[in-house]
Amino acid sequence: MKQLQTFKNDLTQTRIIESPLPSLDEGDISVSIESFAFTANNVTYGVAGNTIGYWNFFQALENINNDWGCIPVWGFAKVNISKNEDIKEGERLFGYFPPADSLNLSPIKISDEAFIDGKDHRKDLPPVYNNYMRVSKEISYEPSMDNIRSLLFPLHITSFCLCDSLEDESYLSASQIIIVSASSKTAIGLAQGLMDADRAPKIIGLTSSKNADFVNSLGCYDEVISYEQLSSVNYSLKSVIVDMAGSREILGTLHGSLGDNMLKCYTVGMTHWDNEVTAEDALGQAMLRDRTEFFFAPAHIQKRVKDWGYEGYNKKTSAFMTSRSKQSKEWMYVKEIDGIENFIKTYCQIVSGNINPVSYTHLTLPTTPYV
């Protein structure tokens, strides 16, 4: 097998390791990874690798000092070898994989729609990441949507959770929802979901001036305001902020200007605030931390699986994802790259922030795997 690894303390450093696949135990399967997506969202997996545990999903080969890790990706795979009577060779799967060409899985809790990987090192990790969908069994499966699904599923599942959480709390009786970094794919999915929801407040999208025309063209925001025009925000309205960026300057301005009208600020993804606030850091001091919380989608997913069961959860999320994916085809450009070796240059560009996050996303298509 061939595996792309990242140096944990410097995400710009990579290496490719080739090694034979471990032998299969009874009940296990071996899959060849056909394709996977890589976006800025995957970079956050690396940044949060230690704090949230993303390094623990897939074991890096030839890693004696534990300095290297595999940044997880979402994609499709085909079952090459099966020692499980319930899963046939040739079946296709969608789920969470390492950036590699092969992987062994230990399926448990097998249903017609999905199964869980029961590897010991994954048992204590969030279930959403251990779930593999059996796409061959999906009635509404559309192969033409594979790229979009790989790219948007991890982002739009967060969008779904945010929509559901806000609706469940009656939007905290807010008159407007302010979405920071409105051009991000998670933000777009959230705004589109809110547009479809009943009784949702006004949706305000904040973005850079260079992305304002694009965000306006999406038609899912009631108003689009650039960061340079934050004075145009109506600060007299009761507001909920959903922040995808974590900019101290922007959040400080919004928090300070809204004051008591800021009901809640949800931070999404990786945001980094310094714990120490200097006397000169007025914008940092203006942030209302007692009304700010980190939104962790896997926790909400676990809650809803408990409330609705796996079948109910999958039904609701599938409907949301289908709608968002069809809308996204109108504006998204997908760049396909053949082979892990050819992916490294693009990987470095994404990690360094040198890829336009609005109109370009990158899908890698690994070559024939080594087994």
226-245 confidence digits (pLDDT tens): 999 999 999 999 999 999 87
Q: What pLDDT sits at residue 271?
A: 34
Q: What is the pLDDT of residues 305-329, one digit of tens each?
A: 889 987 788 888 888 988 888 888 7
Check if the beta carbon of residue 177 is closer than 8 Å to that of residue 194. yes
Domain with CATH 3.40.50.720 in the chain: 157-297
Q: What pLDDT sits at residue 356?
A: 53
Domain with CATH 3.90.180.10 in the chain: 2-141+332-365
Q: What pLDDT sits at residue 284?
A: 54
Give the single-character DSSP code of 44. H
Measured distance CA(126)–CA(300) in Å, rounded? 11
CA-to-CA separations, 247 to 181, 203, 227, 272, 274, in angstroms, rounded: 10, 20, 11, 9, 11
Q: What pLDDT sits at residue 95?
A: 94
Give me the residues of the chain with pLDDT under 50, please: 270-283, 357-371
Is CATH 3.10.105.10 the right assignment for the domain spanning 2-141+332-365? no
| Tokens standing for residue 42 | 């995957």
Q: What pLDDT sits at residue 1?
A: 87
Check if the beta carbon of residue 48 is closer than 8 Å to that of residue 101. no
Is CATH 3.40.50.720 the right assignment for the domain spanning 157-297? yes
| Tokens standing for residue 299 | 């926790």
**Burial of residue 260, with CB atoms counted within 10 A of its CB: 0-12 exposed, 13-18 middle, 19 or more buried:** exposed
3-class SS letters over 137-169: HCCCCCHHHHHHHHHHHHHHHHHHHHHHHHHHC
What is the layout of strands, in order, in the sheet containing 2-7? 10-18, 2-7, 68-69
Residue 192 CB contacts under 8 Å (≥ 6 apart), including other chains: 159, 218, 220, 323, 324, 327
Nearest-CA neighbor of 340 among 10, 45, 17, 118? 17
Q: What pLDDT sits at residue 170?
A: 95
CA-to-CA separations, 56 to 50, 90, 192, 302, in angstroms, rounded: 8, 28, 33, 19
Residues 46-83, buried b or exposed e (16+ Cβ, 10 A)?
A: bbebeebebbebbbbbeeeeeebbbbbbbbbbebbebe
| Tokens standing for residue 168 | 């469940």
Q: What pLDDT sits at residue 10?
A: 92
pTM for the model stands at: 0.77
